[in-house]
Amino acid sequence: MGRVTALRPVLRVRAERRSHRPDTLAVEEPMEIRVGGRALTVTMRTPGDDFDLAAGFLVAEGVVRAAEDIAGIRYCAGATADGANTYNVVDVALAPGVPLPETSLERNFYTTSSCGLCGKAGLEAVRTTAPWDLTVDDLRVSCRTLALLPERLRAAQRVFDKTGGLHAAGLFAPDGELLCLREDVGRHNAVDKVIGHALRAGRLPLRGTILMVSGRASFELVQKAVMAGIPLLAAVSAPSSLAVDLAREQGLTLVGFLRGSSMNVYTGAERLPPHRGPAPSAVS
């Protein structure tokens, strides 16, 4: 199996002092996802939770909706010329009756760790018909609870503490309990790993949950949340205009710039009712 971290030599400069030392870095390696033996895409990811990554990717593409749609996932042996297994090629076998992905979903170029849509064959291919109606999800979350999530997400990032170079995605309950956390060099990969974990556990749709991400809220992350039935997506940074448009269209609550007690609610503000308790006492 691939390693999550690796050591590389570095010249460390602190003011006028220089020293040579090894530095711990996050590993980034390609992973090819195949469906029924046919190559679908290559993504740059941090090794680990690869089966969840593949399953979550297929959820976001509208290929699968439930654990029963997948007959099995395996690493492909003989991925190199000498027949060795690199654990960088994953093949997903769909259950009988589940259609293979359309050829329009195939990537013309590999997917980078920073952008999961590079090489996508047209924006319309991304606008997959959502299988779940988010408008009927009655999730309600207090802003006070939401304000706690960035710190809880950060506290659970074990690999980030060693490298400082990984994104995180966390699935939370309405009371702020962390249900699942995944780290990766790519934001979209971390989200796919969370969603794939939920799919394989038979938990889709993820009604009444909150998806918290460590970076910005792109169109693609909104799409992934919608396809998994998640009613609220929160990010520590900004959303894109297209992300806001899609969130509004699909009934997703989208929160950006979630830092401390401040946040911007771009869509679905009804899920964040105002606090009705007594106002804090003034400090004299």
Inter-residue contact 184 to 193 (CB < 8 Å) = yes
Out of 115, 118, 143, 180, the active site residue is: 115
Which stretches of the chain are DSSP H helices?
A: 50-60, 143-155, 158-163, 187-200, 219-228, 241-250
Closest CA to 34 of 103, 83, 90, 73: 90
The reply to whether 180 belongs to the active site is no
CB atoms within 10 A of CB 21: 9
Alpha carbon distance 186, 188 (integer Å): 5
Q: Is the dihedral of CA 220, 223, 225, 231 positive or negative?
A: positive
| Phi/psi at 221 (5° precision) | -70, -35
Location of structure tokens 């952008």 = 115
Query: In this structure, are residues 146 and 255 in contact, taking their beta carbons and an 8 Å threshold?
Result: yes
Which neighbouring-strand residues pair with 33? 41, 90
Q: Whose structure tokens read 């249900």?
A: 179
The residues annotated as belonging to the active site are 115
